[in-house]
Amino acid sequence: MAPAESILEVRDLVKHFPLTQGIVFKRQIGAIKAVDGVSFDLRRGETLGVVGESGCGKSTLAKVMMALERPTSGSVKVNGRDITKAKGAELKHMRRNIQMVMQDPYTSLNPRMTVGDIVGEPFEIHSEVLPKGGRRKRVQELLDVVGLNPDHINRYPHQFSGGQRQRIGIARGLALQPEVIICDEPVSALDVSIQAQVMNLLDRLQKEFNLAYIFIAHDLSVVRHISDRVAVMYLGKIVELGGDSQIYDRPSHPYTQALLSAVPVPNPEGREARERIILQGDPPSPANPPSGCRFRTRCWKAQDICAKEEPLLQIRPGTDHLSACHFAEALDVVHVQS
Ligand SMILES: Nc1ncnc2c1ncn2[C@@H]1O[C@H](COP(=O)(O)OP(=O)(O)OP(=O)(O)O)[C@@H](O)[C@H]1O
Ligand code: SF4
Ligand SMILES: [Mg+2]
């Protein structure tokens, strides 16, 4: 059983997209293993950062957790109820509790709708939440909460800057008072100076409304300050999961170590030297992942066993730090900004 404070319990989640050939007689020739056996808990009010290179399955994981995609197998329990099995009125009700903020504030807002209509749309879909008469006032309150002028309720998205548009998306995400918000790269499309403002807003809202966040990013540095724990993904799997100092100061998976870039690597003479580990090449195709450990084709520590046996995501003795490597070993890292 998961700890009582978990609001989200993800277990053995798999999402394969079929690869088909032929036009009239379609036949399946394989599958893109976008998410391939992911398990974790999200605790009430915490932020779990999810980090990995493009194509490792972060957005697919988010969509399955939101029940926008059906999983191939596995479960996602929200307050103990499996959202992947829910249908009709129950699914609609559960969706109120788990909302999403998208990456691109320029394309994710309908340009023909006013800000009031965009932020108030969840009340149209879930009309039981708020009577029609109270909606305008509530939308103005939400605009105020995210630092926008409530008098701008009749403006259109193009009249706002990128950072302000992302605030509109956040206000919309808050409308139904969810307990979980999945932020899929919410600041990647914004200027660096604006990123900090949006991150600070998310941080403040979390404290104010006791929100739990899944915060998705490419880069470990983006999620560091907002995350309580971080999950590192590679080719559809979590390879390491831990708290701030476990991931950033003493990571134990070679992939995380390579992402952080400089760790002390023993040299042939036995003396310790600090070397930068360069992550070579691109990740292999998720349609045809390597046998054994998926990271082995790029791993600087790979041995024969890595091709034969898949390393399981296991707890490191005496800690709550999880790592999926036959040779997991916590190393001090020297952070290198790329
Ligand atoms: N609807 C789909 N049909 C087929 N393949 C898909 C579909 N959606 C995603 N994929 C594939 O699944 C894999 C994971 O994609 P996903 O978008 O989840 O990655 P990501 O980690 O979010 O990447 P990025 O950082 O670029 O946003 C990719 O190989 C992608 O091409
Ligand atoms: S299991 Fe082997 S290939 Fe995989 S990360 Fe560990 S050392 Fe590298
Ligand atoms: Mg994505």
Tell me the mean pLDDT in the region 93-98: 94
Question: Given pLDDT bands bounded at 50, 70 and 90, which one contains residue 35?
Answer: very high
Give the number of C-alpha atoms closer than 13 A to the C-alpha of residue 64, restricted to the C-beta side: 29
- Residue 18 scores a pLDDT above 70: yes
Categorize the per-residue pLDDT at 317 as very low, low, confident or very high, splitting at 50, 70 and 90.
Answer: confident
Expressed in angstroms and rounded, the spacing between residue 231 Cα and the centre of ligand 3 is 15
- Please return the burial class of 112, using the count of CB atoms within 10 Å of its CB with bins 0-12, 13-18 and 19+: exposed
The pLDDT assigned to 20 comes to 86
Q: What is the pLDDT of residue 282?
A: 85
- pTM confidence score: 0.92
Listed in sequence order, the residues at least 6 apart from 24 whose beta carbon sits closer than 8 Å to its beta carbon are: none
CA of 55, nearest ligand number: 1
Q: What is the pLDDT of residue 29?
A: 85
- By mean pLDDT, which of 105-109, 233-237, 314-318 is the weakest? 105-109
- Residue 165 makes CB contacts below 8 A (sequence gap 6+) with 105, 106, 109, 157
Surrounding residues of ion ligand 3, Cβ less than 5 A: 58-59
Overall average pLDDT of the 142-162 stretch: 94
How do strand 73-78 and strand 6-21 relate by DSSP bridges?
antiparallel
Residue 3 CB coordination number (10 Å): 9
- Taking only the tens place, the pLDDT of each residue in 154-207 is 999 999 998 999 999 999 999 999 999 999 998 888 888 888 988 999 999 999
Computed over every residue of the chain, the mean pLDDT equals 90
pLDDT band at 2 (very low <50, low <70, confident <90, very high): very low
Give per-residue burial for 114-136: e unless 16+ CB within 10 Å, then b: bbbebbbebbeeeeeebeeeebe
Q: Does the C-beta of 60 come closer than 6 Å to ligand 1?
A: yes
221 in Cβ contact with 266 (< 8 Å): no
296 C-alpha to ligand 2 centroid (Å): 6
- Asked whether 226 and 203 are in contact (CB, 8 A), the reply is yes
Residues with CB under 6 A from ligand 2: 254, 293, 295-296, 299, 301-302, 306, 311, 325-327
